[in-house]
Structure 1
Amino acid sequence: MENVLSYKDYIGTVSFSNEDEIFYGKIHGINDLVTFEGTTVKKLKASFEESVDDYLATCKELNKLPEKTFKGSFNIRITSDLHRKASLIASQKSISLNDFIKKAIAFAINHENEIDCAQ
């Protein structure tokens, strides 16, 4: 995975501001907006880890769960042709469209390194 840092099961995405000559990012999968930055890769990594540690300590002090809650349902926007094809495959497999999408997501997660996200 490119432009991603990982620490204590948390991930942070990384970007670069050419104008400010700084690396910056934010932690994902949490209930708040927590950012980090650094002028070098070493400083960026240290800032990310410090931000994770600080966030976890703050959550503990506030008796708050740090991880974002996912309810298990979400809306997606796809083309009508893709919707039709998925529905047809689900019908051929005698499963609901919802079950087909769950299986497709599980398959993608289990094969994440094979997915070309450039499309």
Structure 2
Amino acid sequence: MNNMLEYKGYYGSVEYSAADEVFHGRIEGIADHVTFEGASAECLKKDFMEAVDDYLESCKELGKEPEKIYKGSFNVRIKPELHKQLAIFSRLHKQTLNRTVEEAIARLINF
């Protein structure tokens, strides 16, 4: 089951509130809090697309650059021994630590 919507490179979460009998979500990966909802899957998708369009239009009106969903950098905390082994592995394979991590992640998600 895929609980994400995608439109124009933006992703939205999908949740269901049994108490309200409505689907709802928010645009993920941006600092601004942009939400959407719908009584059906079709309505939710339509409201999500409108929320993305409204976000982009609001940014344009404010002269603000819309946030890119993912910038390609993030912090990872791992055990010191694993960090050491990763650094040694990278050095032995004549590549940067970043490149080694990127390759490992790509293999993990079959990218």
Q: TM-score, normalised by structure 2?
A: 0.76
Deviation at residue 71 of structure 1 after TM alignment: 6.1
Q: Distance in 2 between matches of 1:63 and 1:109?
A: 39
Q: Which runs of 4+ in 1 moved over 6 A?
A: none
Aligned positions, number: 111
Compared CA separation, residues 69 and 47, structure 1 to 2 (3 A): closer
Query: 3-state DSSP class of the match of 2:14?
Result: strand
Root-mean-square deviation over aligned CA pairs = 2.7
Answer yes or no: is 1:38 the counterpart of 2:38: yes
1:71-106: per-residue Cα shift (whole Å, max 9, x none)?
65432122445434423421331333233223334x
Mark the runs of 5 or more structure 1 residues left unpaired by the alignment: 113-119
Compared CA separation, residues 31 and 64, structure 1 to 2 (3 A): farther
Percent of paired sites with the same residue: 47
Q: Which residue of 1 aligns with 2:20?
A: 20
Q: Which residue of 2 aligns with 1:53?
A: 53
Mark the runs of 5 or more structure 2 residues left unpaired by the alignment: none
* Higher-RCO chain (CA-CA 8 Å, sequence separation at least 6): 2
